[in-house]
Each structure stands twice: as C-alpha cells, then as structure tokens.
C-alpha cells in the first residue's frame, strides 16, 4: 500500500512541474519574444491609420474615362487624447462654430473615447495644406488621406451612381466597413462595390507629445498594404450618352439604346437629370436634399423605374403571338371599324403588314379578341381565362412583366396582368375579353418600363431572342465575361414571324402612310413602331426601333412625356440617336435643331 501512495506522489509532483514550466515558457514568450502586448501598452504614443485604397476607375466602351479619383482628407479625432486647446483658433481654421465643435466632439465621444473617428470629412488639398501646418497645436486630432470620385463629363449620373458614408445599419450587416468608410450607394458604384472598392490597409506610426508623426513603428512590421480597386469598362458610349442627354434637355422622359447582338447598353438617358459632380464631397448632403425636393424628380431614373402604357408599340406583341398561336396569319384582314375602338383615318389594313404600318386600332382589337376568346369553351369567362394564360406566358417570354436583370439597382418589373390579377380585381368568372380589350392596343392594365421596350426592339432585331441588358463590358484583369450576361433568352416564337414583323416595321418608317416617316435616315434602313400613350393630360410620345434592318447594330426606345404623337417627337429623337451611333455624325441638322428647340412648359430652365 505504501508503494502505491509513493508512486502517486511522484505523478502529482511531475504534473506540477510541467504546469509550472509551461507558465514560465509562456511568460518568456509574452515578455521577450511576442511584443504585441508592448504594442498595446504603448498605444497612447502610437496611431493606427487606415490606408484607404483608391477605387477602381470607370471607362466607357471606347476607353474614355468616366470616373476617376482625386485626393481628399478626413480630419480624425480620438476624444480621450483631446487636451485643453484654443477652441476659437481651431474653429476658425475649419470654418465651424463652437457649437458645431462641441456637437461633433460629443458624437465622436459617444462612438468611442479611445478610438479615432471622423470629425470633419472630405477636406480638399488646399484645406489640408492650410490645416497641416497648425495641427500639432491640437492634440487628439490628425488627418487621414482618402480619395473622392470625380467626373470629367457631367453625364450618365443615373448610370454611374455615387458613393457616400456608410450607415450603422451597413456596418452591422457588413463588418468590413467601419465608421467613416464610404460605399457605393447608387448606380454602377453600388452594383460593383466589391470590385471597385479594393481592400483597406493600415499603418502604425509613432506620435510625439505635440501630435506629430515620428515615423513607422518597428519599421512597418505591423503595416498592411492597401490594394487598389479593379478598373471596369462599361458598354456605355460616352459620346452617344452625351448626345442623348442633349436631345432630351428641357424634356421629361428617357432614351435606352442597346446593342442587340450582345445586350450591352450603349446609352441610358433619364431626363431631367443632374451633374454627378453635385453629389461629391462636403456639398453632397445639401445638393442631395435639393435634388430630392425638386418637383421634376431628377433623381428618378425613368428608364428603369417609370411605368408607362406601351401604346401602339404593343401591337407588335399582339401580332407575333397571334401568328404563333394561329389565330391570324400574315394575310389576315379586318376592317377599320371605329365602332369597336377609335382610330385615325388610313387605308384599308388588308394584312398584318399594313395594319402595323397604319397602326390600326380596330385591327388589333380583333387580334386580341381572337387571342383571349379563341372559342375553346362555351363559357366566355373560362375561355378568357385560358386565353389570358397563353397570352401572358408569351408576353413574359418577350421580356415584359419581370425584371430583366440589368446591373443597376431599382429596376421595376412593369405589369403584365394574368388570370390571378383579374380574379382579384373583378372576381372569379366575372370578367372576359370585353372587360380587358384595351390591352389589345397597349392601354388598359399593361405597364412597361422603357428598358423593356428597348429590349423588345433588340429581341425583334435578333429575330426572336435577347441577351440580358447590361453595362459591364469588362473587369480589367478578368479573362472571361460574366456568364449571366451571355445567356440567350428565347421567345419561343418562330423566326419566320419575326421576318414578317421586321418588314412591317420597315414599312412604318420607309413607306408612304407609315406613322414614323420622321425616323427616316438616308442610306440606313430603320425598322420602328410609334406609340401614342394615353394618360391624364397630354399623351406621351413613344417609339422603338432598330437599324440597320440586316445585321442591326443598335436598338432604341424613346419616351417623351406629355409630348403628343409618337411620330412627332420620339421617332425623330430615336433616328438621331441611331444615326449618331452608326455614322458618328448627324446629316439632317434641321431635324436635330427642331428637337433641340423643343422645350416643354415648366422645364425651360432645366
């Protein structure tokens, strides 16, 4: 028994020795080898400076610079280190009142007495130079470098977007960001934030009692490099974008231009717009409020967010579906019976081509009636439900009633009513074609956004398919394009029917009696369709087109709010955009001047 207890004593003694030796080794490591605790103890004489990376640059499809960076500086404060100082002199340097000083310091103190946070952001180079010489008089304050976005041309504000300071909500959701960081808030800046922002670094510097930097701590051992954001190339054509904005000056509406073969967006104009430089720097907050309160809504991107009835443009959709389903063929004829629905005077619509060329309302009333009530069921209510189901599915495949997936935020889906919609609205088995016939001529409950109309023009130009509209052409350093933008979306309508429609759209512009003669361009065959959109007040002027007829290079949609007939204003604007893009010039200067001279009431000072 004594031998057993003796062995146990040795085991316990050995365990105690091992534990003691472990503590000795750990203390030696902490005090001699690892100096991180020394670093913590010396934090009152060291400053951790965030190294902000330059955001990636943004170029147009031709390599023209759209967005670049300019140096700016944030005045930072560590409240615990602020000592007695000449507050009046400090406020005088910054151009603030003593009350502002107290408010800003208290805000920083609430954030953390020990951590640095922004006191005043986005000082210019001149302001920084003047302040730097005197900053050592004010302990607890230091300047941190960053960059601000600048725009060499005052164009494409709705596309490019802007950056702004992160909110606490963003910080809570994304730990990468800290107080005082900036993030893309709108447009391309928001969509491609992670690509453009780069990666932050940090620098640890020694500071003397006069708040002056004395160099890197331990020769930069704890420093990390900032990595610049990636540059991106957009599909936008800066020259075409600027021209579109010029044409839409003093008007309300939008232009969207797409390259059909790729889905790349060449121009996106929303008018009224604004200079993107207004939302840069310390003036951003005040300017944003002015833009937000402006009754003309310059911040509202009409190209993506405005819902319009498509008007007569939608007759193209009815014709395609009608031929595919078999309720009509290219030679079907219906009289222009104004007792069904009102129409303008025009020759007899003897076939589908003539009906589109003359934009005959009663003709497409009858096409839509055959689609919605094909006579499959004795009950007109059940028959209409079946017709709406088939019709709705085809319209959705043509790119309407849902988001197309553009790489900008806030895209609206438009509205293509389905059976559930009408059942909720009117009640089940309480509606039929006679209730919803206005859809046949692009009025009624159908709603589209201009992007969808431009995409429809691209789909027809391609004879039955489209690629998702997008702006990103290339991220520098990436070898392959993004797969989501190279996915081909099929309409499930035979190519043969698109050839019929293309010829009809050519006749709309090129042949006598067509409603878009003002869209003609010498030497270029333009295919288009006008749309005069009824709404309270003056009608909207709409038009969509593509050109040339064979191997189309551009598809475009134009809406001019409260401007009247589609052929009067939207059609010539679209033709000017087409000519400018395809030839680089505009030969018809009289047409151009007429558009430039047109100023809508209330927008003369835009």
Query: What tens digit of pLDDT does each residue of 54-101 get?
Result: 999 999 999 999 999 988 888 989 898 888 889 998 998 888 899 999
Of 562, 546, 556, 557, the residue nearest 598 (C-alpha): 562
Looking at the predicted structure, is the pLDDT value of residue 24 above 90?
no
For residue 7, what pLDDT band results from cuts at 50, 70 and 90? Answer: low
Q: Cβ distance 371 to 420 under 8 Å?
A: no
Q: Are both 266 and 198 inside the same structural domain?
A: no
Q: In whole numbers, what is the pLDDT of the chain averaged over residues?
A: 90
State both tokens at 41.
């103890």
Least confident of 311-325, 400-414, 475-489, 558-572: 475-489
Q: Cβ distance 137 to 85 under 8 Å?
A: yes
How high is the pLDDT of residue 123? Answer: 83
6 falls within a domain: no
How high is the pLDDT of residue 458? Answer: 98
Give the count of beta carbons closer than 10 Å to the beta carbon of residue 126: 8
Query: What is the CATH classification number for the domain harbouring 322?
Result: 3.40.710.10
Looking at the predicted structure, is the pLDDT value of residue 28 above 70?
no
How high is the pLDDT of residue 276? Answer: 95
How high is the pLDDT of residue 606? Answer: 57
Q: Among 182, 207, 234, which residue terminates a domain?
A: 234
32 falls within a domain: no
How high is the pLDDT of residue 41? Answer: 45
Q: Are both 230 and 367 inside the same structural domain?
A: no
3-class SS of residue 60: coil
* Residue whose token pair is 């009809």: 504
Q: Are both 113 and 243 inside the same structural domain?
A: no
Q: Are both 410 and 339 inside the same structural domain?
A: yes
For residue 359, what pLDDT band results from cuts at 50, 70 and 90? Answer: very high
Q: Are both 480 and 501 inside the same structural domain?
A: yes
Least confident of 45-54, 66-75, 245-254, 471-480: 45-54
3-class SS of residue 591: helix
29 falls within a domain: no
556 falls within a domain: yes
Q: Are both 246 and 119 inside the same structural domain?
A: no
Q: Are both 83 and 51 inside the same structural domain?
A: yes
Of 57, 80, 88, the residue nearest 189 (C-alpha): 57
Q: Are both 433 and 546 inside the same structural domain?
A: yes
Q: Are both 214 and 306 inside the same structural domain?
A: no
Q: Cβ distance 226 to 199 under 8 Å?
A: yes
Q: Cβ distance 475 to 462 under 8 Å?
A: no
Task: Identify the domain containing residue 49 by its residue range.
Answer: 45-234
22 falls within a domain: no
Mean pLDDT calculated for residue range 326-338: 96
Q: Are both 317 and 228 inside the same structural domain?
A: no
For residue 446, what pLDDT band results from cuts at 50, 70 and 90? Answer: very high
Distance between CA atoms of residues 191 and 54, nearest Å: 17
Distance between CA atoms of residues 50 and 39, nearest Å: 17
340 falls within a domain: yes
Q: Are both 330 and 474 inside the same structural domain?
A: yes
Q: Are both 205 and 242 inside the same structural domain?
A: no
How high is the pLDDT of residue 400? Answer: 97
| pTM, rounded to two decimals | 0.87
Q: Among 208, 234, 260, which residue terminates a domain?
A: 234
Q: Among 174, 207, 234, which residue terminates a domain?
A: 234
State both tokens at 427.
């009640």
Of 341, 398, 349, the residue nearest 368 (C-alpha): 341
317 falls within a domain: yes
14 falls within a domain: no
How high is the pLDDT of residue 449? Answer: 97
How high is the pLDDT of residue 32? Answer: 53
Q: How many structural domains is the chain composed of?
A: 2
How high is the pLDDT of residue 223? Answer: 80
* Residue whose token pair is 């941190």: 144
Query: What is the CATH classification number for the domain harbouring 125?
Result: 3.90.1310.10
For residue 40, what pLDDT band results from cuts at 50, 70 and 90? Answer: very low
């Amino acid at each position: 028994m004594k031998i057993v207890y003796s062995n146990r004593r040795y085991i316990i003694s050995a365990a105690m020795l091992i534990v003691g030796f472990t503590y000795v080794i750990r203390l030696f490591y902490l005090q001699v080898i690892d100096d991180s605790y020394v670093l913590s103890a010396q934090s009152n004489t060291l400053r951790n400076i965030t190294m902000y990376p330059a955001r990636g640059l943004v170029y147009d499809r031709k390599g023209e610079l759209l967005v670049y960076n300019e140096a700016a500086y944030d005045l930072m404060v560590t409240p615990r280190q602020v000592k007695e100082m000449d507050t009046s002199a400090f406020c005088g340097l910054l151009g603030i009142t003593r009350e502002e000083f107290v408010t800003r310091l208290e805000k920083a103190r609430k954030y953390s007495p020990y951590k640095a946070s922004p006191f005043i952001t986005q000082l210019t180079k001149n302001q920084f130079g003047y302040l730097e010489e005197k900053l050592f008089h004010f302990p607890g304050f230091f300047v941190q470098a960053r960059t601000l976005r600048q725009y060499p041309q005052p164009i494409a504000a709705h596309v490019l977007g802007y950056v702004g300071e992160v909110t606490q909500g963003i910080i809570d959701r994304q730990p990468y960001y800290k107080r005082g960081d900036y993030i893309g808030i709108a447009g391309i800046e928001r969509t491609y934030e992670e690509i453009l922002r780069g990666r932050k670094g940090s620098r640890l510097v020694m500071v003397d009692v006069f708040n002056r930097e004395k160099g890197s701590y331990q020769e930069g051992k704890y420093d990390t490099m900032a990595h610049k954001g990636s540059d991106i190339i957009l599909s936008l054509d800066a020259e075409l974008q600027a021209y579109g904005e010029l044409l839409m000056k003093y008007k309300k509406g939008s232009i969207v231009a797409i390259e059909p073969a790729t889905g790349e967006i060449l121009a996106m104009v929303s008018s009224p717009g604004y200079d993107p430089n207004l939302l840069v720097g310390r003036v951003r907050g005040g300017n944003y409020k002015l833009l937000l309160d402006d009754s003309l809504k310059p911040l509202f991107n009409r190209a993506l967010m405005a819902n319009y009835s498509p008007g007569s443009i939608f007759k193209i959709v009815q014709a395609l579906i009608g031929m595919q389903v078999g309720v009509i063929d290219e030679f079907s004829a219906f009289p222009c019976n104004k007792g069904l629905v009102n129409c303008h005077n025009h020759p007899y619509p003897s076939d589908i081509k003539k009906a589109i060329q003359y934009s005959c309302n009663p003709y497409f009333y009858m096409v839509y009636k055959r689609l919605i009530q094909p006579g499959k069921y004795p009950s007109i209510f059940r028959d209409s439900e079946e017709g709406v189901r088939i019709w709705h599915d085809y319209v959705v495949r043509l790119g309407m009633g849902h988001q197309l997936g553009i790489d900008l935020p806030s895209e609206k889906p438009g509205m293509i009513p389905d059976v559930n919609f009408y059942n909720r609205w009117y009640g089940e088995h309480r509606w039929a074609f006679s209730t919803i016939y206005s859809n046949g001529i692009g009025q009624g409950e159908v709603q589209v956004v201009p992007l969808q109309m431009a995409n429809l023009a691209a789909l027809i130009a391609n004879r039955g398919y489209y690629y998702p509209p997008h702006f990103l052409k290339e991220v520098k350093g990436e070898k392959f394009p993004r797969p989501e933008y190279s996915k081909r979306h099929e309409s499930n309508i035979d190519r043969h029917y698109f050839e019929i429609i293309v010829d009809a759209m050519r006749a709309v512009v090129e042949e006598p009696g067509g409603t878009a003669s003002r869209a003609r361009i010498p030497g270029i065959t333009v295919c288009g369709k006008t749309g005069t959109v009824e709404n309270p007040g003056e009608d909207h002027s709409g038009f969509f087109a593509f050109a040339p007829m064979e191997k189309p290079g551009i598809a475009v949609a134009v809406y001019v709010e409260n401007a009247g007939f589609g052929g009067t204003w939207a059609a010539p604007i679209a033709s000017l955009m087409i000519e400018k893009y395809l030839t680089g010039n505009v030969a018809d200067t009289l047409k151009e001047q007429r558009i430039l001279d047109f100023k809508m009431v209330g927008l003369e000072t835009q």
